[in-house]
Structure 1
Amino acid sequence: MPQTKRTKEIKIRLTEQEHQALLERMEGNQLATWIRQVSLAQRVAKPYKKADPELLRSLGRIGGNLNQLAKQANTLDKDTDKLRVFAQLAVIREQLNEVLSRHDS
């Protein structure tokens, strides 16, 4: 399908900070295309955000703890053992809340 030739031009002036803000928000690699899509309310595919390495490490540690608990929970017979696992789950819940509060976007 042939693309319609664009013949109209709009010129705007920006401060350096405004230009930088647009570049940071831009999705894709062409600012003019992104501005046109956003302005005309066309659907813009959202790219994946770059993951924070600290967040990934924290989640990895928590995931390791969960795996250990799952393995341990499968072998429980005593109520005291079950209480110990529930206490560990409460600690993990607190760790998750802390991680989420630090990386809330």
Structure 2
Amino acid sequence: MRVEIRTTPQDKARWQALAESRGVSLSDLVRALLDGQRPRRPRREAPSVDPALLRELARLGNNLNQLARAANRQEPVPAAALLVRLIAIDRELAALRRAYTRADPEAEDAASPGAAELGSSPGEPGPC
């Protein structure tokens, strides 16, 4: 069934913009509002992710969680050991970025603030 209403071009443009900002069609917006509901955004499909990349990121996340847990429990962690682990994580993330993007290596080093701030280059150990 089709329902038509009369409105000004300005109101229609405003309603259309509202619908677009919520990720729904104008028809869906009007139906939801008339039914006293909030318009629902259409579900997006999850992007496909390389399982190996996902596993590697999960492993790095686990390493960071272990460091955070130790810090939150106020366990004594030698600064040098902490720094070595953080530099290793930073390098692994940089390697993942290089493996999954086609950016040049100089751009990657600039995108990895940890190594630059600590004064280490990718091939040499960090300060300990």
TM-score after normalising by structure 1? 0.47
Could you state the TM-score of these two structures normalised by the residue count of structure 2?
Answer: 0.40
Greater relative contact order: 1 or 2 (C-alpha under 8 angstroms, separation 6 or more)?
Answer: 1
